[in-house]
Amino acid sequence: MLLQQPMLQTIETLERHLMHVQESRWLIGGSCGLLLHNVEIQRIPRDLDLYVDQCDVASLHEALQTYSMDTPAHSETPIYSSILSHYDILGNAVEVVGDFRVAAQHSLYQVEAVYLWERHSRIVHVTDSCSVKIMPLAHELLFNLLRDRPDRYEPIARVIRKQPAQHMPALQDLLARNSWGHDFRKKLELLFD
């Protein structure tokens, strides 16, 4: 499955609005990011997820004010903590996720968007005139393992196993920079045995 044309146009519009935000560092993740990594997923993405650090939430919101559905607000669930804001761009839902943390399975994972943007992101050309950075597959693997989504983490692991040199350095780095429970590490190891 490939990203549909309306979502590609949304990404292009987004990139055009954010390209002038000074030092703006954002990454596409979620199901759209997986499709841009050529990971097979079972359904068409319902929205577009952008990851940023807390320091970039306000500037992105200001740049996307025309499309805004709400203002950035702290959101907390039993396992997630973030600053969320929502936008409607060309009829597609866009969610900006700032300062994202996941606490599950005796693990604590803090998404460091700027760090990932600088060290482990991948540039993809979504149209002839638009290139964006996407979250590393290592992030998607860890995130989906933490939320127990085998429909996501198994196809992600298959892609990583086919191209370990491209993806394992980021995985090792994220494992070293965060705190992981014993059972979680065992589950992760089984994916690569």
Nearest Cα to 141, choosing from 175, 115, 105? 175
CATH code where residue 87 lies: 3.30.460.40
Q: What is the pTM (predicted TM-score) of this model?
A: 0.95
Per-residue pLDDT of 18-42, as tens digits, reads: 988 877 899 999 999 999 999 999 8
Question: Which residues, other chains included, contact 128 with Cβ-Cβ below 8 Å and sequence gap of 6+?
Answer: none
Contact predicate 143/134, CB 8 Å: no
Q: Is residue 185 part of a domain?
A: no
**Would you say residue 145 lies in a domain?**
no
pLDDT of residue 4: 86
pLDDT number for residue 127: 87
Residue 152 lies in a domain: no
> Is the residue at 40 inside a domain?
yes
- How many structural domains comprise the chain? 1
Cα–Cα distance list, 157 to 2, 46, 186 (Å): 19, 23, 14
Residue at 100: amino acid letter: F
Is 168 a domain residue? no
Number of H helices, E strands in the chain: 8, 8
Pairing of the two strands 92-104 and 80-89: antiparallel
Is residue 57, in this structure, part of any structural domain at all? yes
pLDDT of residue 1: 59
Interaxial angle between packed helices 150-162 and 164-177, expressed in degrees from 0 to 180 and rounded to the nearest 10: 120
Instruction: Write down the pLDDT at residue 43.
Output: 86
Strand-pair category, 47-52 with 92-104: parallel
Any domain includes 181: no
pLDDT at residue 84, rounded to an integer: 98
Position 174 scores a pLDDT of: 98
Q: For the chain, how many residues are written? A: 193
* Residue 100 domain boundaries: 5-136
Q: Is residue 74 in a domain?
A: yes
Q: What is the mean pLDDT of each successive set of 10 residues along the chain, which is 193 residues long?
A: 86 92 90 96 92 96 96 97 98 98 98 97 92 97 97 97 96 98 97 90
CA distance 23 to 69: 24
In this prediction, residue 99 carries a pLDDT of 98
